[in-house]
Structure 1
Amino acid sequence: MQETRLNILLTSIGNQIIDFFSNPWRRLSLNIIAFLLGFFLASTTAAIAGQAGKWDVTYAFFFLVFTEGSNIIIYKNRNPNKPLWRTTLNAFKIGFAYCLYLEGFKLGS
């Protein structure tokens, strides 16, 4: 890739973000925020889908595609040192799936 000013700027910003989240506590806090964001997003989309009543199958299809697609991305390489974006995506996916299971239990009881 050419070394343009935009490329140099984006590379330096990316390196600063990676250096910022190299601290384990910051990485953990980012994963907790991603988990809670996934939980919130799943809760709101499930409530919206429940109100509409017509889009249940479509929402379920998109949820399934998101979950399985993220599983393919996350678990494709088995190296123990996963990049930051993969662990964050995994935390988001876990929060998302956990909320959908809780919503299913609430509706089933």
Structure 2
Amino acid sequence: MQNTRLNNLFESIARSLGQWFLNPWRRLSLLIICFLFGFFLGTAIATIAGQRGTIDIMIAGLLVGLTEIASRIFYSRSFMARQALWVESINLLKVGFIYSMFVEAFKLGS
């Protein structure tokens, strides 16, 4: 990439955020927020898809595909690459989403 002011700005922001999330408490709080957002996302998608009722099978296939892609990203990397913040965030988002789907299934009694 060219060395433009916008590129330098994005690089400095990414570098400072990376330094900011080296603190274990900030990292843990971000991971908890990702888990809870995954739980919220699962509840919202189940509610919206349940109200629509016409494309349940396509949405279910899409969601299974997305969770499998997230699992492939997380489990295909070495242990050190798994500790990257974005990889852990995606994995906990997936875990919260799957947990929410199980809770919704228990609510429906199926």
Counterparts of 1:2-81 in structure 2, within 5 Å, are 2-80=2-80
Alignment-derived partner of residue 83 in structure 1 = 84
Stretches of structure 2 lacking an aligned partner (at least 5 in a row): none
Q: How many angstroms does 1:78 deviate by?
A: 2.1
- Which residue of 2 is the match for residue 102 of structure 1? 103
**Deviation digits for residues 37-79 of structure 1 (CA, Å, limit 9, x no counterpart):** 1100110110111111112101101110110011111111122
- The CA deviation at 1:16 is 0.6
Shift of the alpha carbon at 1:5?
Answer: 1.5
Q: Deviations over 1:18-38 (max 9, x none)?
A: 111110000000011011111
Post-superposition shift, 1:2?
2.5
Question: Tell me, which stretches of 5 or more residues in structure 1 are unaligned?
Answer: none
- CA distance, structure 2, for counterparts of residue 46 and residue 106 of structure 1: 11
With normalisation by structure 2, the TM-score equals 0.92
CA distance in structure 1 between the aligned counterparts of 2:76 and 2:2, rounded to whole angstroms: 30
Q: Equivalent pairs: percent with the same residue?
A: 47
RMSD of aligned Cα (Å): 1.3
Alignment-mate amino acid for residue 50 of structure 1 = G
Structure 1 segments (4+ residues) deviating >6 Å:
none
Q: How many residues align?
A: 109
Comparing 35-44 with 3-12, greater Cα deviation is found at: 3-12
d(CA) in 2 for partners of 1:80, 1:6: 31
Q: After superposition, what is the alpha-carbon deviation per residue over 1:65-104, rounded to whole angstroms, capped at 9, x for unaligned?
A: 1100111111111224521111111111100000001111
Range moving further from structure 2, 27-36 or 3-12:
3-12
